[in-house]
Amino acid sequence: VTYADGIPREMEITYVPHIDRGGKVVGYFSLALDVSDRHALEERLRQSQKMEAVGQLTGGIAHEFNNLLQVVSGNLELLETNLNNDSVSEKRFQAIHRNVKRGADLTDRLLSFSRRQPLAPRAVDVPQILAVMQGMLGQTLGETVSVEVRLVSDIWSALADPGQLENALLNLALNARDAMPEGGKIILAANNVTIDEADVANHEDRDPGEYVEIYVRDSGSGMSDEAIARAFEPFFTTKDVGKGTGLGLSMVYGFAQQSGGFVEIDSELEAGTTIRIFLPRTDAEGDLARTSVAPTVSAQPGNSAVVNISKDRKTILLVEDDADVRAALRDQITKLGYRVIEAADGAEALSQAEQKQNIDLLFSDIVMPGNLNGLELARQLRRRLPILHVIYTTGYSDDIVAQTGHLDDGALVLRKPYDGKTLEDALARSFDH
């Protein structure tokens, strides 16, 4: 049914027979109920559930892939230290390192979509961020694309990781440029927005409150309704094969959700696209205290040699459930001059600690099979070894600490994949603490 405003609506019509005194059907009553809003809400709920399921799947895949990259990176560096490389071999090693880095970049974007990317949120000066982006995009997008920044006065501070916000805006700007092959204009703008209960009634992905709205608008080809419906799915792209990963909007979606905000798309074919990121307003110190994250150390794999130097034979308890990752780490740590005791899970680690009292550092994966994760293992060990140094590692790149408890003093988190130099530096930093 189309209303007077020209908008088609879905109706649920029920017919009731009108029966006269003689029991004969002489007509029908009809009851028409507008179910458009209900169907739209059901569709949004299905979409939200689908995105949550896809997020869990991609997060798990990224975790496993990070473990694979750690094995490749660790063993590659061990090979480099054991071989006399000629120039040809060196080029091949460098090619492998570059592609391990590409794989790590890919998993970072998958983890961002699945909301498992570690963030360092703080009060962000949005006008300053947009000014920086305007200068950077002017150099990046080419001469055929102009960039304009529009701001209202007194923009609130937003609670976000500034680096990830810049990455999100860069992804949106690159998508906008690709939608304008003949050139055009990109507008970056920000507004203060208050969303009330009525505004969120039909939206499962947002809460009422005060937000800073940041949008990127282009004058490009626009998006179809079908493309909009799938825009945030990982690997979905309308670009030609080889011209896009389909992860740009997925990353933006995950970043906004993890930051406590949401994303909207307004688009029409041949009329351009506007993508809006809504980030929560911050009251500075109060919000920052509630959203503090674990200190993490990360590195993209590079060509860094592992140096064999004396470490006064300090003993490291290495706990890692993936046998290949554990073997590579054991050899890398041994080459650094440390003694290594291995365990595949928390229970085995406790058993090893009971037999050997001279453990100086626990190097443990956070997520492990069994009843003991890395955080709880460290707490139990520190009851007997109060001065035990601790380094955690994870392939999830997840703010797991926020879900399972706080970090003990002095502990570090290494994000997989990490290279030999990052490993060496983390060990030295932990012992120096």
Weakest-pLDDT range from 36-50, 329-343, 399-413:
399-413
Count of beta carbons in the 10 Å neighbourhood of residue 281: 18
Residue range 119-143: mean pLDDT, rounded:
85
pLDDT in tens, 274-311: 999 999 999 764 444 344 344 445 444 444 433 343 45
Quick one: 247 and 342 in the same domain? no
Q: Cα angle vertex 20, ends 16, 26, to 5°? A: 60
CA distances from 131 to 128, 136, 212 (A): 5, 9, 16
Torsion of CA 338, 343, 347, 352, to 10 degrees: -50
Parent domain of 49: 39-116+295-433
Q: What is the pLDDT of residue 210?
A: 94
Whether residue 137 has pLDDT greater than 70: yes
Kindly tell me the burial class for residue 78, based on how many C-beta atoms sit within 10 Å of its own C-beta (0-12, 13-18, 19 or more): middle
Q: Which two tokens stand for residue 252?
A: 């933006």
Which residue, among 397, 95, 361, 245, has the nearest Cα to 237 in the 3D structure? 245
Q: Give the whole-angstrom CA distance, residue 104 versus residue 70.
A: 10
Quick one: 284 and 310 in the same domain? no
pLDDT in tens, 349-365: 999 888 876 899 999 98
Whether residue 4 has pLDDT greater than 80: no
Higher pLDDT, 304 or 54: 54
pLDDT in tens, 56-89: 666 666 667 777 888 888 888 887 776 666 777 7
Confidence class of residue 178 from pLDDT cuts 50, 70 and 90? confident
Kindly tell me the burial class for residue 122, based on how many C-beta atoms sit within 10 Å of its own C-beta (0-12, 13-18, 19 or more): middle
pLDDT in tens, 234-251: 666 766 544 555 567 888
Higher pLDDT, 25 or 201: 25
What CATH number is associated with residue 319?
Answer: 3.40.50.2300
Among the candidates 265, 290, 315, a domain finishes at: 290
Residue range 134-156: mean pLDDT, rounded:
86
Quick one: 241 and 140 in the same domain? yes
Task: Mark out the alpha helices in 83-206 (DSSP H runs).
Answer: 87-113, 126-140, 162-178, 197-200
Among the candidates 255, 290, 325, a domain finishes at: 290
Quick one: 131 and 275 in the same domain? yes
Quick one: 1 and 88 in the same domain? no
Which 3 state secondary structure label does DSSP give 161?
coil
Higher pLDDT, 416 or 336: 336
Quick one: 30 and 89 in the same domain? no
Torsion of CA 15, 19, 24, 25, to 10 degrees: -20
Quick one: 245 and 384 in the same domain? no
Q: What is the pLDDT of residue 417?
A: 83
Quick one: 334 and 268 in the same domain? no
Higher pLDDT, 411 or 134: 134
Confidence class of residue 403 from pLDDT cuts 50, 70 and 90? very low
H or E stretch covering 277: strand 273-280
* Bridge partners of residue 415, in order along the sequence: 394
Distance of CA 310 to the CA centre of its chain: 39
Quick one: 229 and 261 in the same domain? yes
Residue type, 369: P
Q: Give the whole-angstrom CA distance, residue 420 versus residue 113.
A: 28
Quick one: 284 and 337 in the same domain? no
Quick one: 228 and 176 in the same domain? yes
Helices 420-432 and 323-335 sit at what angle, rounded to 10 degrees? 70
* Percentage above 70 pLDDT, the chain: 76
CA distances from 90 to 77, 87, 432 (A): 12, 5, 34
Phi, psi of 301 (to 5 degrees): -55, 135
Total domains in the chain come to 3
Among the candidates 229, 255, 290, a domain finishes at: 290
Quick one: 99 and 171 in the same domain? no
Residue range 11-19: mean pLDDT, rounded:
88
Q: What is the pLDDT of residue 241?
A: 45
